Amino acid sequence: MKNANEITLLLVEDDDIDAMTIKRSFKKQNITNPLVRVYDGLEALTLLKENKVIQPLVIILDLQMPRMGGIEFLNVLRADPKLSDLVVFVLTTSKAKTDIALSYGKHIAGYFVKGETGDRFSGLVNMLESYFEIVQLNEE
């Protein structure tokens, strides 16, 4: 079984404050997984296609980003046979039912609204930590 610390987190988030909040929350919960942050879907795809992110990995994805947003990123990711099985959690400000439906239609592992997590954000972080400890990820 893989050690939870061996799972790399790819944070796809353009907002510096949100990225800092996520990083601080992980540090506060003593989650020491390697974390790679990129600013949009294009940058994430480049890293993934060039194998510049250590696998196994889990993607934490915002939807509203410049150049390539989250939904477009998911479309490209799921269409690529080498990347299609990557685990993606959406963490976004969008409560739009269409965004939720489109995201789940692209087989995400979970959809979380930033504003709604508030005090419960530590619960989200705890859930991810537990996920890392028990999940068996594909390491191809």
Domain boundaries, the chain: 4-134
CATH class in words for 4-134: alpha beta
- Asked if 35 contacts 57 with a C-beta cutoff of 8 angstroms, the reply is no
Distance CA 126, CA 140 (A): 27
**pLDDT value at residue 84:** 94
pLDDT for 50-104, tens place per residue? 999 988 899 999 999 999 999 999 999 999 999 999 999 999 989 999 999 999 9
Q: Is the bond into 81 cis (omega within 30 degrees of 0)?
A: no
Q: Is the pLDDT of residue 130 over 90?
A: no
Distances (CA, A) of 82 to 5, 96, 113, 118: 23, 30, 28, 35
pLDDT for 3-45, tens place per residue? 455 789 999 999 999 899 888 888 888 888 889 999 999 999 9
pTM: 0.88
